[in-house]
Structure 1
């Protein structure tokens, strides 16, 4: 135990801090250097202060990214296995119900996750302000005292950006087991054709992999997730159109507007692309100079750009059948 005049002279190493024990006396009483409690952060004076900052736009976009990742994986598995099972002629309503269930799972998981963080019961979440990559890995900076023993002061310095995605994945797993099982039970009772269960088990395997990836690379993902989303949206857009084979512009447009599945996938691509562009905007200093509504208008205008670019340039990848090339 230390009083403030003594505690002020001693600076705690690493991410260790002092906790206030008593404030009723003439001097505040502080603990010795130790890990800060969950939901608090050490300041420059080595005091553990409770995290009470409002979550900024980029931080919230990071949380949305972790909510979108399971949803996108669900959609990919549902779509891919429905294509493989075309010979069974699965009614489109059951594929749509799986998409709808995946969307509900993602939305409910995000809501439940936000509700369990301070302030509990509110969608508003407090956070700690951080600016450096090393703050994501405090276990690597435990101080070595007198070259004899390690003072373990590992805590969530970047609260709640490290633990929140784990909670979101846990709720995703719970919602998957409950909601998707209901969909399969209804399909088993109502549909004469067996609905493939492969998407269900594929996601069960994928969610733990996402958790491991976040545990190891969370700090890196935090800084590059807009680029990951941008690359994913562009790649999915290209693969989606390329999967339909060699078609000209008219055939592609006719295919898009006649099939609801293509319209849905096109909307998903646009949503991912818009989210990536807006996340990149939030990561820059431009947001402090430009009004929000102007940035929203710019992002909205860019949404169809990848699809339009692919459709307009598709003729470059489909040469005329009667073209000949000289052989030298």
Structure 2
């Protein structure tokens, strides 16, 4: 059931995650983020404290909780509860999706403008029964170079019966010398749908000759389960640990000639999976490679995309996103805004 991909330091192993951390309050999330970092063996070389400000100090411990519910009287989903701590902020829900007028759309705002050493962030999103919501970010998340410690983010998504939730953030850009730890937990019943995207840019290509794949460590875990909180409720787990100091990512079978990695996870009722997998297909061209896999225990689909630049990878991810939207909600994505 659990699966891990370690590109570097694989021999040390890592125990699977068998619990969903408590992110229901700011203080609970701080404890959960601290525990997440303590278990990350791959960050053993990066535990020194920054001399300027301690890790997780005021302004470096971000927290955002979003609670969506369907309002039958209004005929749309509303943002019913919001809790936030800088540098993570959000404002009110908007309704810009023309094809889904009842979908609540929220933009996550990073008031600091970037991620720096010692940042400890937590995002908690809940979609109640029948809710329909989209969460995205204001811009790319830029993880700056680090001389001490690392940056981390804990994400928890809880989706209830017949709800539909999307989390499609802008790219994560790893600057030279950066360290990033991320754990994502998803809980949903078989009738719910959750679409989750990740677009990883391993450096600013034109900034410095050593910028591309010049980050120190990237570690991202994903755990998906049914409600219940028991080990047998876990559908699958995976962890991707990228360590450029130990692996040449230009090797054939890893990144080869490609520079950008995109992933879209669609956790959906089983009746949609085969059709969507066939619709997106798979192929390898000079500029792009992609393919979709059905996840363990019928949890959903995972699309992986490799590309030469962010734009073409993002376009393929959006194509799959639109196919999922049309299958589940009946209409594809509307045309993208010109400024996106």
Please give the TM-score of this superposition, normalised by the length of structure 2. Answer: 0.22
Report which of the two structures shows the higher radius of gyration computed on alpha carbons.
Answer: 1
Question: Which structure: greater strand fraction?
Answer: 2
Please give the TM-score of this superposition, normalised by the length of structure 1. Answer: 0.23
Question: Which structure: greater helix fraction?
Answer: 1
